[in-house]
Structure 1
Amino acid sequence: MSTPPIVIIAEPDPIISSILRVEFTRLDFAVLLAASGPEAEAYASQTVAHLVVLDTKLHLGAYDACARIRRRAGYTGRPIVLTATEPSPKVKAAAEKASATVVLPKPYSVDDLFNAIRPFVPADDLLLTHSARVGGVNAPRAWAPAAPLAWGADGNSALARNGQLLPIVRGKGVVIPLIRKPNFGG
């Protein structure tokens, strides 16, 4: 039994990050959402992800995070994708200096992301051979549990008892300021 591929996504836009989380989860990937470059680095220090996606508009440095993640053990050959609204020559030069695998223009789909990294990932890599990615919805799962799932007397599911339950990891997200209407009459 193998574990699902891990993806770290650092995207400041809550809508885009939610869409990516849903799409990768639908494909049976484990998703770690980060709200900043340092948070993505913290995730990268705890596990070697199969894919890292960083938006260049992160408030706390996507380029620096990319360079530091690339220097970590296990990330030498892993794809690190920087996304940008306008991938200008300046953005591409900064991404190359940070050792990013590729710069992907926004908006993009998960298929666009896989098409962009495919030339840089070995054909037998789990990122590309994961059964849900290859066969779609009807493909057999690569990490299906051996026994049927059932709730135990202690209230824990079979996934929790067998150590197969993946934690839901959420970043801090974006705080939307509360806009108050002015009180003109008192």
Structure 2
Amino acid sequence: MKKMQLTKNAMYCLCVIALVVVIAIVFKFSTKETPKQTKVVSKEVVDSVVVEDATLKVKLLDFVSSQESNEHYQDVTLTVDKNDKIQGYKISSKQIFHKIMQLLPPDQEAPLLNHSSEKPSHEAYVLILKGDIVKYRVNGKVKYRISNGYLTYQKQALVVESDYDSVYITSIDGKKEKMVRLDAYKKALNDIDNYMTMLQW
């Protein structure tokens, strides 16, 4: 009987030891720290300024008449979309430029031409984006973006001839005049290569 009792005690001890070992293993794995994921940091390096202090984009903003004008200052924007080609370079990401300004009608007391009695009906506002284009590299990949960009504008008094689908305009120095088709006028004022043909000639 004594021999049997020792065997039971030994089995009991073995069970206790096994249980302790299992608990220790479970505790070890449950408290083991999850390996931290290495954060990949994009390395950006400026390569060069490929275009400097240039006119980059233009946009006909609006025609403003005395009936439609608003004297409050407004936040106007010009957007350059991703992959837009500017000055021969494809811009890598979307960029939005802002300007706070008033959109006022033409001065009704001022003639359209310096020596004319005809009064303008509208003022055309053309947004002009100026700045630099920077070439840079992100993890070795070449990208381009506009840097130091800012908005300015030109305005032009005109007479809208609705019956002829045309506009009667003068050069911004007030010395010359011409009539052009409305759609051709709008198209030119949204084209960086042609907008000055409508403002000064």
TM-score in terms of structure 1 length: 0.23
More helix by share: 1
* Bigger CA radius of gyration: 2
Higher strand proportion (structure 1 or 2) = 2
